[in-house]
Amino acid sequence: MRIIEPLELKFEVSNWALDPELALIDTILELFPNLIKMFEEDITQGRPSSNFGRQDTPSVEQILRAAIYKQMKNLDYRSLEYAQEDSRICELFLKINRHRPYSFQVWQKYISRIGEQKLEKFMVALNKIAINEDLEDLEDFRQDSTVIETNIHYPTNNSLVWDCVKKMERLLKHLKKEIGNFIHGKYGKKVKKLYFKINVSKNEEERLELFVKQLKLFKDSINEVSEIIKQKESLGITVKAVKAPGSFRSIITIDGNSVFYDRTERNIK
């Protein structure tokens, strides 16, 4: 496998004005070949490089360029295989021979070898080059995050009350570590037991009766938390709970800042 793609005489002129971002990356990779050599170990997996043989595998430079193009254009491997034959800019950026394009299996095999640590080093080196060349002033940052799909439970009255009590139990444990020991009723287990009973009950009247018990425990737990915090007035934290028609509300004031919580009526399920 070759590291750097050898220089070839080509008569077509690339119109990089159509994609200035790719043009910039192409220029950087041409001027700084050490960026390409950073990925040699991952891609070749320790095998010595060679300019001889069948030449049926892409070079390390081509694999890196393909990985960059795939990521920038948000392509899968099959779309990358199609783009190398359909797009003139893609062909020039990847430095491939139009008569010998590579399959999506080949791209997947080698691009997937690129490790996370080498990518991090590559991004650091790329940013250093951008700063030295006055391409980046570090005044503005753009950050992306990964979104992971997960299931959530349906927001019924039953589940919302249980979520609130569970949250209070968790916060009370943290509070105990900070302000010392105190005694509380531990309503979490009782509310959790009623939560499961309501879910499995098929009788509407029975569910309503269980839910009323759950609301009473919920109210007791709010009052208990209020009393615990009132005992620690030195913290500057006060809590008051009020009951309004059709809802349960609580106002928490911390150092003069009020946080308002409102749980409106929902169907009991």
Task: Please state the φ and ψ torsions of residue 241, each to the nearest 5 degrees.
Answer: -120, 135
Q: How far is Cα 192 from Cα 185, in angstroms, rounded to an integer?
A: 14
What is the DSSP code (8-state) at residue 51? Answer: S
pLDDT in tens, 49-64: 666 656 678 888 899 9
Q: How far is Cα 126 from Cα 143, in angstroms, rounded to an integer?
A: 16
3-state secondary structure of 149: coil
- Which residues, in sequence order, are bridge partners of residue 244? 247
pLDDT in tens, 82-111: 998 888 888 888 888 877 888 889 999 999
Helix axes 204-230, 188-200, angle to 10 degrees: 160
pLDDT exceeds cutoff 80 at 170: yes
Rg of the chain in Å (alpha carbons): 31
Q: What is the pTM of this model?
A: 0.48
Q: How far is Cα 253 from Cα 259, in angstroms, rounded to an integer?
A: 6
Residue 183's pLDDT band, with cuts at 50, 70 and 90, is: low
What residue spans define the domains of the chain?
A: 16-132, 157-263
For residue 241, what are its two tokens? 């709970």
Q: How far is Cα 250 from Cα 210, in angstroms, rounded to an integer?
A: 23
